[in-house]
Structure 1
Amino acid sequence: MHGVFTSAIGPLPDGRVYPQILAVGEKITCATLDNDNFSIDSYGSSGAAALVSGTAALLYQAVPSLTPLEVKALILHTAADVTAGDPNAGGYGFMCSLTAVQAAQAGEHSDFLLPAGQEARFSIAGVAGETLSATFVSGRNATNLDESNDVDLDLRSPAGLVVWSSNGAIQNVDQIEYTFGETGGFTLAARIKAAFGSTPTRVAQAGLNQTPTLATDPDVGQPGPIANFADPVQVLNDDSPMGHFYIKGVGLAQATSVRLGGQSVNFTYQAPGRIRVQVPAGFPTGVHLAEVLGPLGSSGVFVEVGVGLPKFGITPINFVSTVWWGLESNPGEPYFVVLSPSSSPTQLPGIVDLGIGNGGLLLFTVATGVLPTSGIASGQIGGGGALPLGTLLHFQAAVFDLTTFTLIPSGVSSTLNSTFS
């Protein structure tokens, strides 16, 4: 699809893909009783939204047993690729209503509950040179920012090697497009981290004509499948202001050690394709090579190590919505979170200066406390019209040494987003 002009460009403030789907918004012929032709050309997002909802209705008409997640998965999976324009405006593609209905009628979909610590397995008959394509959509039943996306996919070869994995941290849509390099029985697994609690997650897929079987996640309590580290690893964040950083790549469940600047460092396997690397106290700042070593090889990525001050998120929000906040630093450290509707936010050099630089406007204290063992705190404040619509909010989070009233040097990472409701 070329030459597409869109009415919205993402991503959302928290990094999620938006818009997710494109539909025609120009010269849409609609029925009317106001002229002799009994029709009128409609334009804009109002017409495009009607096409999407109409496609959903056609899907329900074709297969009444579809769940809402299956409908979404089918629409996203059958969308045509958008190859031109801003990649942040194309979402998952341009809606193809007929293709979506045909996929639904062919049974290329399923809906299932995925408990924490388990995985849903799909048996795939791979043929060398052919392409596997599927789309997975999970329900957003998260209770905090750290659970914004908890489902990951990996594809295992006939020999049990992980040849592909998804590493999303915030999306609730995962797509695989993989060309088989050999013929044989592959396994596509969807799984959820055990750390996300006991509530099962609702997941739907489109592209596979089968219902999965549930099994214990092989990475829970024991090593996962061995991979060959053929693909380069990547760093998820380009600096380490809070004393650690994340690396993603294929086969990281089998990582045996990690070296940073030639020095062995502690690391934790967190999810399919993702590990957390701890930066030792006093480690020299600057760019260093992070090397991941496994049974069959190694891979490396350059990481900037440094000490950072608090990060300030600044975003206009509709304050009738729910505002989420999140911060991360070292376990056991006290933290203080405020929201300030101001044009020049307080820079938080210390507690005594919190009232300076906010233009005389009110500082809203959101939360105080001590970081738990995870080092992560998050929460929300409700709406209700406390501030005018579109107010520019400065999110300010800091971790303090309360004995000296100064910032703890490790710094803090902070996020802010709003969920309209």
Structure 2
Amino acid sequence: MFVDIAKIYIKAGDGGNGRVSFRREKYVPDGGPDGGDGGRGGSIVAIADDGIRTLMDYRYKTKYNGEAGGDGGKKNMTGKASEDLLIKVPVGTIIRDAETGKVLADLKTKNEKVVLAKGGRGGRGNTHFKTATRQAPTFAEKGTSGVERNIVMELKLLADVGLLGYPNVGKSTFLAATTKAQPKIANYHFTTLQPNLGVVEAIKGKSFVIADIPGLIEGAKDGVGLGHDFLRHVERTRLLVHVVDISGIEGRDPIEDFKTINKEVFGYSERLSTRKQIVAANKIDLLFDREVLTHFTATLEAEGYEVYPISAATGEGVETLLSRMTTLLDEIPHEALVDESDYLVEELDFTDKSEINYFMDEGVYCVEGEYLERLMYSTNMDDIESLRRFQNVLKNKGVFDHLREMGIEDGDTVRILSFEFEFYD
């Protein structure tokens, strides 16, 4: 089963907690603090694997969690750092943040890696909080949480040439005749239900990849049939070869077919409207009236298209077409599919997120923020030294000044996360 889009949830591992510990050695009855730091949590990393062809595995398992870092130990022992969790995806996969739609990774080469969610930083042990006036700190830091997010993975096949056209115009036959690919071929519509890839070497030493995009129908750009599922694979190609059934044996007008398919392709992506496109007038071996080919060629050449009459079944004209494709690919530069502005910009290193939010809730002054959450977790409310540090940090951060500006008075209740206390100036 060919699956080219999947949505999963990822959660990097939390950092390990710092340790509260004191030296307990013989002849040292009142040793100082020796609590170690917590270890780093495992990150979630995507890696491009050329042995994988679809995203099918991610249809069945949709949640991935990194391993938490180890807690700090005695004797200043740092907790174990967890290994990163690797998510293997096919080469050509674009990964986006589901909430913002911004790009996290565009994996175009084998073994390319990108961190999708950073593991949490380990908390500091109580050794770090020893000062000249605080010789025995009884608190340590909690590790930070690992990043979590929902992501959408979208496979866009890496091919130099994309074959376009209505169903049953001979694209699969052309691919089979020119490459070692073995697509399913039969004389009925929608034989190809998934993109097929093949490698062509028309000129010795110069090869390129062709993608047989399943036959499109009117309304494909709006998702009719399997439109969106197929059109996404055209975006990475540098050259489009539009295959048309010139024989008319099914009673269709080749010019109208050509215009209809282009309308769908260009309507799906504005980027594709500027892509170089040449035309393969296929099935000339079944053509009874050569005037049809003459009229078709004249009409499209007047619009700036190159037309190559071929028969994929007999091989007539195929070598000429392949040589032209090779020449054009030498001239057409590789284009980045994702613009720099499409990427999600975020800090790679964890820094203190010091933003503090203030609001009223039924007469209670509420104070919230990630920095305060970590401060609370590293505070021992039963220890006077730890509480004194907690108050000094709030004072230095300007929390008390801000509460005064909000109109707080002695005896009013302040809530920091789930902890409530009465305010006295």
- Flag whether TM exceeds 0.5 (same fold): no
Please say which structure displays the higher CA radius of gyration.
2
TM range (shorter): under 0.3
TM, length-normalised to structure 1:
0.19
Greater strand proportion: 1
Greater helix proportion: 2
